[in-house]
Structure 1
């Protein structure tokens, strides 16, 4: 958890964070709460999101939760409605929820899973931006951060659907940055390999070897990404929009040499569990 010494730079603002029951989303919610924001979190896991909001409140944050899938448009409306009812405003949106299915070669991708990846990873982000705009940001301004991936800057084995959908999300970020300026800033943060459950199949059993191939000598932690998001939504980044902030431990520096995490994962013959 990021220290409460974030100088309360978001005091009085309200943030909505998706995919916030664990990993990067939970760390982001904690960082924004520690900086003084009211936080609304959502995730599919009812128990997980309930436990996460309890942790936020225990740390002193004003927080509320709404369990459900971002692939459900009605759920998205409930989330933004909750923010407005509970806190009367919606200044910050962090689109973090994602799916990496279908996993495998694109020639074997199931069309239904492919469409679902775009529904969750791209369409939900647009729908939430629209809802936040109509509910608050059009009149009062705000900041949106979309969590993309370092993988949009290259290719990797078996993650074609995930990478393609995140590349679309990155383009959406830049398009919205142009359309919603100057009152709403829209940016992306693109993590490298981070120690999350979603990425466990990549780093488990290979962490030391992967870390040795990174200039900064370790894989990422959720708080590394959370700090970047906190900066992007704060007034410290007031002249930043349409940016893609790489938080990857230097992965791009070594990618050309074939020593990135997905290259190691492929060399070791790891198989993603069902």
Structure 2
């Protein structure tokens, strides 16, 4: 029996697909049988990743609408189809208080994290998905659900991406499913400044006892892209090791004393 996670014969595109979560996603999709196109800024990394996956790659910025059109054409030219789109490329700049945020950097955050995702969905829709269907997965963040120091631009833009996911899910069904995955703290270069100084302390405060790995997120993306999730759209899959529920983790003796039945 063929696995419901099998993606043989399908084609996928992953933005920011040469590092961290994006690279893990591209590898998981390829391992499941999909032909994969990756795009990222660094041309050498794109070439190496495409060669590793046996797919194709195109270097460029998702902030450039011409690049998004070009990478869509390249995917259709190489594979003859585009079934899966993973919008993973992102920026966490400007970092710091919003009162100090440079307006140009603020706009760049929304251009990369929100506008590029919409533009690429439009490209995929017009080129293939409108007639043939498909699956879109946007990489959001657990942090979109609350505020935090220094990440106002990132969190606000990802909250917008979360809403965009739901709006597109409503507009593009039934042929195209649109979902999102919201990671907690994951061991990536972009998040190194968060996890490296105090990884053990952060991990000990999580119900699952560790920070995330890129493959944790990639497995969730693979499932959403597959037929196993064929009746799911407009959903946000939280992959955070229990970050949202950590307030209940390891209650103090005083708190335990007041639990029902104690």
Normalised by the shorter chain, which TM-score bucket? over 0.9
Q: Distance in 2 between matches of 1:6 and 1:149?
A: 29
Aligned to 1:60: none
Specify every segment of 5 or more residues in structure 2 that has no aligned partner in the other structure, as ranges: 250-262
Larger Rg: 2
Q: Distance in 2 between matches of 1:132 and 1:174?
A: 17
Contact 2:5/2:228 (CA < 8 Å) preserved in 1? no
TM value normalised by structure 2: 0.92
Aligned to 1:270: none
Q: Distance in 2 between matches of 1:204 and 1:255?
A: 22
1:17-43: per-residue Cα shift (whole Å, max 9, x none)?
000111000000000000000100000
Please point out which of 92, 101, 118 is paired with 2:110. Answer: 118
- 1:6 positional shift: 6.8
1:249-273: per-residue Cα shift (whole Å, max 9, x none)?
000002689xxxxxxxxxxxxxxxx
Residue correspondences, number: 248
Please point out which of 233, 237, 247 is paired with 1:245. Answer: 237
Aligned to 1:127: 119
Q: Distance in 2 between matches of 1:208 and 1:25?
A: 25
Q: Distance in 2 between matches of 1:49 and 1:156?
A: 33
1:140-184: per-residue Cα shift (whole Å, max 9, x none)?
000000000000111111000000000000000000000000000
1:90-136: per-residue Cα shift (whole Å, max 9, x none)?
00000000000000001100000000000000000000000000000
- 1:8 positional shift: 6.5
Q: Distance in 2 between matches of 1:110 and 1:104?
A: 10
Structure 2 residue 182 is matched with structure 1 residue 190: yes
- 1:205 positional shift: 2.2
Specify every segment of 5 or more residues in structure 1 that has no aligned partner in the other structure, as ranges: 58-62, 258-274
Root mean square deviation, CA, Å: 1.4
Structure 2 residue 22 is matched with structure 1 residue 25: yes
Structure 2 residue 172 is matched with structure 1 residue 180: yes
Which stretches of structure 1, 4 residues or longer, exceed 6 Å deviation after superposition? 5-8
SS of residue paired to 2:76? helix
How do residues 29-68 of structure 1 correspond to structure 2 at under 5 angstroms? 29-57=26-54, 63-68=55-60
Q: Distance in 1 between matches of 2:119 and 2:210?
A: 35
Q: 1:167 to 1:52 in 2, by over 3 A?
A: same
Q: Distance in 1 between matches of 2:73 and 2:247?
A: 43
SS of residue paired to 1:66? strand
